[in-house]
């Protein structure tokens, strides 16, 4: 169904993601989205958890 409406879509990745959409009727539209954060930032543990693990490692030293 989308093929009936769209002629083509061009994606550009710079400081943000930009999509240039051209419709069958001849009109075009530009859409922009911010870049998602890097995966390392998404999976980073909060500082209070890291501090608690460090404290527990000092307290419980037996394996």
Q: What is the mean pLDDT of the chain?
A: 94
**Angle, vertex CA 10, rays to CA 20 and CA 16, nearest 5:** 70
pTM for the whole structure? 0.61
Mean pLDDT of 1-28: 95
Give 63 or 49, the one with higher predicted confidence. Answer: 49
Confidence bin at 63 (pLDDT 50/70/90)? low
| Whole-number pLDDT of residue 61 | 81
As a whole number of angstroms, the distance between CA 29 and CA 21 comes to 5
User: What would the pLDDT profile of 48-62 be if each residue is shown by its tens digit?
Assistant: 999 999 999 998 887
- Whether 5 shows a pLDDT value over 70: the answer reads yes
């Amino acid at each position: 169904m989308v093929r009936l409406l769209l002629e083509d879509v061009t994606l550009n990745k710079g400081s943000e993601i930009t999509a240039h959409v051209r419709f069958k009727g001849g009109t075009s539209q530009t859409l922009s989205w911010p870049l998602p954060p890097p995966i390392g930032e998404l999976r980073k543990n909060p500082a209070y958890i890291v501090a608690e693990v460090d404290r527990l490692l000092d307290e419980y030293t037996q394996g």
